[in-house]
Chains A and B, each alone.
Chain A
Amino acid sequence: MIELKNITKIYEVNKNNKVIALSEINLKIQEGELVVLKGSSGSGKSTILSLIAALSKPTSGEVIVDEKQISKLPDNFASLYRRDNIGFIFQKYNLIPTLSVEDNILLPLVPSNPDTADLSSKLHVVMKKFQIEHKKDAIVKNLSGGEQQRVAIARANVNNPKIIIADEPTANLDEKLSLHFIEILRELKALGKTIVVATHDPLFFNLDFVDREIQVHNGKLIL
């Protein structure tokens, strides 16, 4: 379902300073599969996630999702692709701190101008599922790290995406909350979602519901 073909990604910091984030990598992820990308900081894990989510374009190579080349999509189509297919849980959550929980969760739905009733029902479902209903009107910046993460997860799921991407999801959480997140992942996997997690947290290693663990090192996959 997700295929990365000969992907190279080079970040140009300036004319004289180039960083090779990924070098000629190939990867296939099947529908419903849960893949954990392991590796130290700067190994290229986040770049892989970013390419799958069409947040950036590869320097060379192809990213194919559901037989569609998404690496060459024009910007607006890439946005539509993300809106319809991707739920991204960022390391720093990337919530809008001055908005309420409800408003943050609904953000991905706003551009498609849904009916208010539809909006309310989707909001209700995800808030209940990720146990954040009691904080509906709270301003995000006033929430704890764990609560913020649940808001981020709810937002990533409000569109009912096929692919969930999580970048270092437990980096800012204590062990208890990290284990709680892992349980949430298990539930999402049970729902048939394709999940790609980038992490260096040992809690994710050797989990029974993880299909594959892939080591990323210096921009290459160690299979």
Chain B
Amino acid sequence: MKNKINMHLIEYAINSILRQKSKNFFIVFVFTVLTTILSSVFFVTNSIKYELDATVDALPQIIVQEMKAGRYNDIDVDKVDGILGITGVEDAVARVWGYYYFEHMGVNFSIVGLYEYEKQYKESFTKIIDSTKLTENSILIGAGVADVMKKSFYKDYFNFIKSDGTLKKMDIAGVFTHDTLLESNDVIVMSKTDAREIFDLEDEKAIDIVVTVANPEEIATIASKIELMYPNTRVITSEDIRVSYQNLFNYKSGMFLALFIISIFTFFIIVYDRASGLSSEQKREIGILKAIGWKVDDVLKEKFYEAFIISFFSYIVGVSIAFFYVYFLQAPIIRDIFVGYSELKVALELPFIFDLQTLFLVFFLSVPIYIAATIIPSWRVATLEADEVIR
């Protein structure tokens, strides 16, 4: 039985590519760069989205904040008792936390105050507390915080500047890593007593209250009950936060979209350039092939192989470079668009997400378009009378 794939035709296509080395090298180069940009955009987006989703999933179901004349204020700790009295509320914890600006490095740390004996409002904090003993005047820090502190020669302790301008020296008891780096990278965990001292917060006050609901379906109902019980509070559900995170993500994605559009635009210019016609030499070659007995579909098959080899090779190389760029080099420059607002976030690692859909999307946005752009002008010439083309 005769082999259906004509290897001689494929050989001719490869030969044809090699005969026009410089021109095809340029096409492969541009195609690869564009595929790399496109793939990198998608890979980074996927990874960040995964991180954000993981972060949002770990957020408290309800956060209650005190408002005074429309302005955010510290909340009374005794409101916890009232909230716990609402049917369906599983737990309520008054949180002591806040941002601490480390002026020397120009970054913000997230300070979280915890009591070892309290039920922690996040599973991750339970793990941190369980793994390392948290004593008075000591801190547990995220990997990003540790890096920044090391740069400022704080290896064993750190000096916090309190609101009255005096220093509070605290020992670094340990460094923790976390499943969701975006969330924990800039975190400093300490006792609530120490956190209150740094933020100058009275014992009966907290920053906010987090509420856990037994049945997630009831979050909205319980949130409205809390609002009714304490009209001067603002009640935020995890869904509200998800939406605002999503908005931030979408805004950042907009920049990526711009990059994406530029890439596509450049690609189409190349495609248009190819589609708008063949050189006289290329036309003549098609005419010769027709004159010696090649059918239109033989010519088109050969052109298909040629375009497929160039575009698929560029696609594979482009995607591979993007994999390396995003997941090994951690997407320098592009990643900063998303997470560059604090130096701490630079330590964020983009998790490896293998998404076939993304690979297919990049494939369909590039390879078939290039093949069509190669085949259409060849078809136009191949369907002319051979005599007319070679004359």
- Chain A residues engaging chain B, CB cutoff 8 angstroms: 50, 53, 55-57, 75-76, 79-80, 82-84, 86, 88, 90, 94-96, 98-99, 103, 106-111, 113-114, 119, 155, 159
Contacts and interface: CB of A to CB of B under 8 A. Distances in A.
A82 B2 contact: no
B6 A111 contact: yes
Given A103-B15, A110-B12, A55 B289 contact: no
Interface string B275-296: 0000000001100111111111
Interface residues of B, number: 28
Given A88-B291, A113-B8, A75 B388 contact: no
Interface of B: 2-3, 6-9, 12, 15, 19, 284-285, 288-298, 383, 385-388, 390
Given A83-B293, A99-B19, A113-B2, 12 more contacts: A55-B290, A55-B291, A55-B386, A56-B385, A79-B293, A79-B296, A82-B293, A86-B293, A90-B390, A110-B9, A110-B294, A111-B298
Given A76-B295, A88-B291, A110 B8 contact: yes
27 contacts: A53-B291, A55-B387, A55-B390, A56-B388, A75-B295, A75-B296, A76-B295, A76-B297, A79-B290, A79-B293, A79-B294, A82-B291, A90-B291, A94-B291, A94-B390, A96-B288, A98-B19, A103-B12, A107-B12, A107-B288, A107-B294, A108-B292, A108-B293, A109-B8, A111-B293, A111-B295, A155-B292
A76 B296 contact: yes
Nearest to B2: A113
Contacts of A106: 8
Contacts of B387: 50, 55-56
B293 A80 contact: yes
A94 B288 contact: yes
A79 B288 CA distance: 11
A76 B299 CA distance: 11
A80 B294 CA distance: 7
B391 to A, nearest CB: 8
A216 to B, nearest CB: 17
Nearest to B301: A111
Contacts of B284: 94
B149 to A, nearest CB: 64
Contact of B3 (A56, A113, A119): A113
A109 B298 CA distance: 11
Contacts of A57: 385
Nearest to B285: A96
B44 to A, nearest CB: 42
Nearest to B6: A113
Among B15, B19, B294, max chain A CB count under 10 A is at: B294
Contacts of A53: 291
Contacts of B2: 113
Contacts of A95: 288
Contacts of A79: 290, 293-296, 298
A128 B390 CA distance: 29
A99 B15 contact: yes
Given A53-B291, A75-B383, A110 B390 contact: no
- Shortest 8 CB-CB distances between A and B: which pairs? A83-B293, A56-B387, A55-B387, A111-B298, A113-B6, A79-B295, A98-B19, A82-B293
Contacts of B294: 79, 83, 107, 110-111
Nearest to A57: B385
Contacts of A119: 8
B154 to A, nearest CB: 67
A172 B19 CA distance: 26
Contacts of B7: 113
A110 B295 CA distance: 11
A155 B288 CA distance: 12
A107 B289 contact: yes
Contacts of B297: 76
A108 B387 CA distance: 17
B295 A80 contact: yes
Nearest to B292: A108
Contacts of A159: 293
A223 B322 CA distance: 73
Among B8, B19, B285, max chain A CB count under 10 A is at: B8
Nearest to B290: A79
B292 A82 contact: yes
A86 B386 CA distance: 14
Nearest to B7: A113
A122 B292 CA distance: 16
A159 B294 CA distance: 13
A56 to B, nearest CB: 4
